[in-house]
């Protein structure tokens, strides 16, 4: 036996209590890992390398207001811009309002769409089929698999914002590593059915020639329309998505608040358990000291026990969070905000560090007191 094995044996001497402590720490770390992952995804992640070359221009006032379609050519003329394509949010209903049937639908220009999204893969014949069918549509392969579509299927999107139902034919499937479970169709379909939609674009998707050009291009576009009737706001794809998140309120403060509350709660749970465990073993501490164990060694033994239990709970919780995040990311009802989200290694390491620190902090004070207790006093203790 080594001192480490002694610590491990003591950590699980009361299996039910250790298991419950591990579960409570595990559950808290699950929440914390979820919060950290969401925070990282929203505020720290820079998005995919491909998306870093893309900008989105929208109406400066609100997304509710559109931009004139003629802005497209002006934007394309800005040095550094490779391609521009308009996109209009259709917001219709597929089959019913069930979450699993929700997905984004955009009207766009089939001729240039894959020039902006040039890393998305679509077979040339399928692209050509879409470009030649005004009622054609393309969807991500993942979305098609989830909805059970195959090429040639008829897809009806019921009206919601626009007073028209879309009766589309699936002409192509694209593949991408980016979270893009959407359906794209020719915007002329809606424009011909709804005259007021003509000449307007909800947003412009832009591809620039280099990441270094992004800030300069964004500023140049917004400066160009500074005195226009409809001013623009150009931002990175990531910032654009973050705008949706921020529309829910102060999400950053919410996440940080929950994270702090979770850490504080597990600290209390763990401290209570450790205090109880140490109080029961006052006599044993005195025996160990009689055998020659020093205060420092006893302190290390107890703190080691707490860190072991907390760390195991933390590992359990953070791995469960990883599995849960994977489920959320692939969930049709949550995928819109959380598509592509995953628990990465640094997040896991931070979660494990937090759980180890919780174990350390919760055990230190009761362990220190136990280690300082006189041997005679400890031997008299009836525990």
Q: Which residues bind other proteins (CB under 8 A)?
A: 1-3, 6, 9-10, 13, 283-284, 287-297, 374-376, 379
249-280 burial by CB neighbour count: b if 16+ within 10 A, else e? eebeeebeebbeebbebbbebbbebbbebbee
Contact status, residue 94 vs residue 185, Cβ threshold 8 Å: no
Closest separation between CB of residue 273 and other proteins, Å? 17
Closest separation between CB of residue 21 and other proteins, Å? 17
Closest separation between CB of residue 300 and other proteins, Å? 12
Nearest CB to other proteins, comparing residues 44 and 376: 376
Contact status, residue 64 vs residue 353, Cβ threshold 8 Å: no
Closest separation between CB of residue 279 and other proteins, Å? 16
Nearest CB to other proteins, comparing residues 74 and 283: 283
CA-based torsion, 264, 265, 269, 270: positive or negative: negative
Nearest CB to other proteins, comparing residues 77 and 375: 375
Closest separation between CB of residue 10 and other proteins, Å? 6
Nearest CB to other proteins, comparing residues 13 and 198: 13
Nearest CB to other proteins, comparing residues 19 and 258: 19
CA-to-CA dists, residue 331 to 73, 87, 289, angstroms: 38, 25, 56
Nearest CB to other proteins, comparing residues 54 and 289: 289
Question: Distance of alpha carbon 272 from its chain centroid, rounded?
Answer: 33
CA-to-CA dists, residue 311 to 271, 304, 315, 321, 358, angstroms: 14, 10, 6, 15, 9
**Count of CA atoms in the C-beta half-sphere (13 A) of 56:** 20
Closest separation between CB of residue 349 and other proteins, Å? 31
Nearest CB to other proteins, comparing residues 116 and 363: 363
Structural tokens at position 28:
């808290």
Nearest CB to other proteins, comparing residues 295 and 330: 295
Closest separation between CB of residue 343 and other proteins, Å? 35
Closest separation between CB of residue 286 and other proteins, Å? 8
Closest separation between CB of residue 13 and other proteins, Å? 4
Nearest CB to other proteins, comparing residues 7 and 214: 7
């Amino acid at each position: 036996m080594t001192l480490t094995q002694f610590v491990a044996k003591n950590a699980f001497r009361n299996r039910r209590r250790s298991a419950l402590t591990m579960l409570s720490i595990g559950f808290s770390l699950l929440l914390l890992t979820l919060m950290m992952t969401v925070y990282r995804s929203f505020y720290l992640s820079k998005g995919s390398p491909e998306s870093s070359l893309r900008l989105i221009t929208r109406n400066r006032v609100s997304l509710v207001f559109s931009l004139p379609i003629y802005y497209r050519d002006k934007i394309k003329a800005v040095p550094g811009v490779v391609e521009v394509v308009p996109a209009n949010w259709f917001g219709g209903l597929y089959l019913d309002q069930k979450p699993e049937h929700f997905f984004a639908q955009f009207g766009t220009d089939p001729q240039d769409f894959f020039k902006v999204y040039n890393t998305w893969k679509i077979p040339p014949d399928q692209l050509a089929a879409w470009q030649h069918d005004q009622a054609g549509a393309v969807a991500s392969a993942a979305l098609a698999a989830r909805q059970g579509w195959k090429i040639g299927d008829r897809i009806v999107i019921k009206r919601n914002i626009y007073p028209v139902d879309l009766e589309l034919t699936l002409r192509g499937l694209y593949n991408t590593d980016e979270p893009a479970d959407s359906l794209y169709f020719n915007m002329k379909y809606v424009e011909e059915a709804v005259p007021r939609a003509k000449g307007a674009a909800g947003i412009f998707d832009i591809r620039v020639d280099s990441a270094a050009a992004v800030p300069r291009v964004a500023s140049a576009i917004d400066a160009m329309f500074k005195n226009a009737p409809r001013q623009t706001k150009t931002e990175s794809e990531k910032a654009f998505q973050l705008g949706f998140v921020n529309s829910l309120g102060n999400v950053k403060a919410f996440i940080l608040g929950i994270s702090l509350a979770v850490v504080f709660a597990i600290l209390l749970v763990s401290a209570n358990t450790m205090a109880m465990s140490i109080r029961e073993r006052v006599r044993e501490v005195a025996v160990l000291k009689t055998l020659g164990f020093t205060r420092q060694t006893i302190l290390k033994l107890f703190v080691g026990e707490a860190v072991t239990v907390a760390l195991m709970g933390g590992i359990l919780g953070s791995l469960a969070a990883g599995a849960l995040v994977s489920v959320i990311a692939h969930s049709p009802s949550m995928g819109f905000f959380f598509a592509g989200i995953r628990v990465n290694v640094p997040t896991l390491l931070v979660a494990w560090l937090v759980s180890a620190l919780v174990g350390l902090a919760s055990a230190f004070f009761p362990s220190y007191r136990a280690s300082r207790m006189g041997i005679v006093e400890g031997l008299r203790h009836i525990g």
